[in-house]
Amino acid sequence: MQHNDVALTWRSAISDEELADLTAAHGGSPEIGWWDRVSQHSLGWVAGRDPQGALVGFVNVAWDGADHAFLIDTKTHPARQHQGLGTAVVRYAVEAVRSAGCEWLFVDYGEDMVPFYEKACGFAPTHAGLIHLR
């Protein structure tokens, strides 16, 4: 799939280093080795790559092995934000999860992300519970 000049792929190879670089560019604190540990437990992920092959968009989809999938770690490189790339990445993940046979796709987000997840991506708001463990 393509979004402007960014190629979107499902379950293509992503190195731990390039995901750490995208996480840092996105303002996060990358943990080296994180992707190598997490990816083996994912239903899949969407990678968005620019024409030079750099990872500029990403979302991971965890799951319970059956009907429930969980959208996590959505990231768009700052130079690519507000251009529809994040929405395209999430929509591609939604279609891949639907094709995998899942019934539900969940996502947690803060109030600041309501316009993105609810308006742009089509998620419905729900009640959820949260316990901070650390």
In tens, the pLDDT along 34-49 reads: 999 999 999 999 999 9
β-strand partners of 61: 44, 71
| CA 5 to the chain's CA centroid | 19
CA 74 – CA 38 distance, rounded (Å): 14
Classify 6 as helix, strand or coil.
strand
Q: What is the rounded end-to-end Cα distance, in angstroms, of the chain?
A: 39
Architecture of domain 2-120: 3-Layer(aba) Sandwich (3.40)
Q: How many helices (H) and strands (E) does the chain have?
A: 4, 6
74: Cβ–Cβ under 8 A, 6 or more apart, which residues? 58, 59, 86, 89, 90
Number of Cβ atoms within 10 Å of the Cβ of 112: 7
Task: Kindly report the pTM of this predicted structure.
Answer: 0.92
Q: Which H helix or E strand runs over 7?
A: strand 6-10
Q: Where are the domains of the chain?
A: 2-120
- 130 pLDDT higher than 80: no
pLDDT band for position 26 (cuts 50, 70, 90):
confident
pLDDT of residue 70: 95
What pLDDT, in 10s, does the model give residues 51-107?
999 999 999 999 999 999 999 999 999 999 999 999 999 999 999 999 999 999 999
